[in-house]
Amino acid sequence: MGSLDRRARTGANAIGRWLVAHPRLSALAAGPLAALGFSPYNLWPLALAALALFVALVAHAPNGKSAAWRGWMFGFGHFTLGNSWIAVAFGYQANMPAWLGSIAVLLLAVYLAVFPALAALAGWWLAGRARTGWVMVPALAGGWIVAEWLRSWAFTGYAWNPLAMIALGPFERPGLAAIAQFTGTYALSGMVIGLGGCWWLAARWRERRGLAIALALLPVLALLVPRPLGEPREGTLRYTLVQPDIRQEKLNEREYFEENFARTAALSRPRDDEPRLVLWPESGIQDFLREGYPFRYYLRFNYLADPLASKRRIARTIGANALLLSGTQDLEFEDGALAGARNSVTAIDGSGQIRASYNKAHLVPYGEYLPMRDVLEPLGLSRLVPGAVDFFPGPGPRTLELGEYGRAGVQVCYEIVFSGQVVDRSDRPDYIFNPSNDGWFGPSGPPQHLAQARMRAIEEGLPVLRSTTTGISAVIDARGVVREYIPRHSAERRDGFVPPAHAPTLFARLGNWLAMVWAVLFCVIALVASRRARG
């Protein structure tokens, strides 16, 4: 045993020396390993080991510039793997070559890596001369919280896959992510950095065996020990959740519109006369439902050229005692000319009347609008979805008053990933409806999207109902537990009762100010400890 132990230590020391000798390559390798902690991989031990290495690399950087470069290399590798699903989207359009998808992923990673670089620089500076000790852990955690928050809104924001997602448990239990109601997602990300830091400290202090073992076990216990959730509560509002499994190559082609509607309608018909909420995905209705457009637009894009006929057909489909929430598109005109469109959710009752609508606010760059169109379009670049006009953004979160069908908050597709930006805090809804089209997100995008919807449920204490074209559709209760789901590439429906909302959580009251409080706390701890170390 002694010989084996010596050989293991020799091997570990050799690896350590290589990592020290090649810090940027080590950071580049650690980035994608950390991304393997996200769905659908869920390899959190590997992710925490990568984060432990990242903490070590920043702690041993000789200067701030070196720390920032190590942070950037980590981020470049991390976001390249974490956003690899974007490349798949380029396979569903004909305007640009599919290989541009891989280039787009790399270019996006070049930009997003700036935020881990800022976190690393901030952590290195906050820890001061004490950076090779425990002080580095809260210093980097505080810097990471602020950097992730900046990433969520800078240049319209890109909040996909915060590190907090590593803490999310399986469908039936939220795991450590349950504390997001008290921290917010970005503060939980800082705590995940802290868990990786525990393993770094355990390796550094291995001669102090008891402390090292405690530090090594702490992340395992935090992520694996079940927490009491309480009994699931049942609601009174009935729903029918529909996933038609309309593949991306057929979704926007006019010759398939009637077939697509028939698939969706067949899964939506009433089974009794009880009132119910019917939920269709983004792009669930291809016809324009608003009246007053120039007739040529109905003739060109609607299967039924008359919007009144379209609404009557929908009413016959859902039945008299139902209300439909579905993704739709509306047009905007200026001086009689088409100026743009809106990605909307429309509420239609059993008489064919439009009761309310919501316009998506967080639009997807290059998907729903082309930034710098005058520059990029002549270069052959275009949007990834059909259409020559850009979508206009809506005003932001709002609550739709739907009478006996409750008060609905709406977040269309990608909007649900923005922590603290999904609910009108002055007019709290009963539930959040999140229609989406994940058909072009590849195999990794849909489970990551669902995971982030679960985090919003935990933060806000609200159930989230997801209807998607190809999956994964789900009913998530206010604890972040997935009550029902429809797997990818299945045409199915789910019937049940909308889970009730919880009382407003601490995060629901404070929003991302709560995450900033945690960031300040970590940074103050690091500053005070580093000054004492200098003294």
Catalytic residue IDs: 282, 360, 413
Short-list 162, 138, 139, 140, CA closest to 150: 162
Q: How far apart are CA 172 and CA 4, in angstroms?
A: 41
Q: How far apart are CA 440 and CA 112, in angstroms?
A: 22
Name the β-bridge partners of 165.
Answer: none
* Terminal-to-terminal C-alpha distance of the chain: 44
3-state secondary structure of 11: helix
501 Ramachandran zone, left/alpha/beta (phi>0; psi -120 to 50): beta
Give me the DSSP letters along 224-237.
HS-----PPP--S-
Structure tokens at 227: 């927490």
Short-list 192, 206, 176, CA closest to 16: 206
Short-list 371, 439, 453, 432, CA closest to 160: 453
Short-list 173, 169, 39, 168, CA closest to 479: 173
Contacting residues for 286 by C-beta, under 8 A, at least 6 apart: 252, 257, 260, 261, 301, 302, 303, 329
Contacting residues for 515 by C-beta, under 8 A, at least 6 apart: 145, 149, 183, 184, 185, 186, 187, 419, 420
CB atoms within 10 A of CB 234: 12
Give me the DSSP letters along 259-310.
HHHHHHHHTT--SSSS-EEEE--TT---S---S-S-HHHHHHH-SSS-HHHH
Structure tokens at 214: 């405690």
Contacting residues for 352 by C-beta, under 8 A, at least 6 apart: 308, 311, 312, 314, 315
Q: How far apart are CA 168 and CA 34, in angstroms?
A: 14
Short-list 348, 462, 344, 354, CA closest to 412: 344
Q: How far apart are CA 16 and CA 23, in angstroms?
A: 10
Give me the DSSP letters along 200-227.
HHHHHTTTSHHHHHHHHHHHHHHHHS--
Residue recorded with tokens 């499994």: 245
Name the β-bridge partners of 358.
Answer: 345
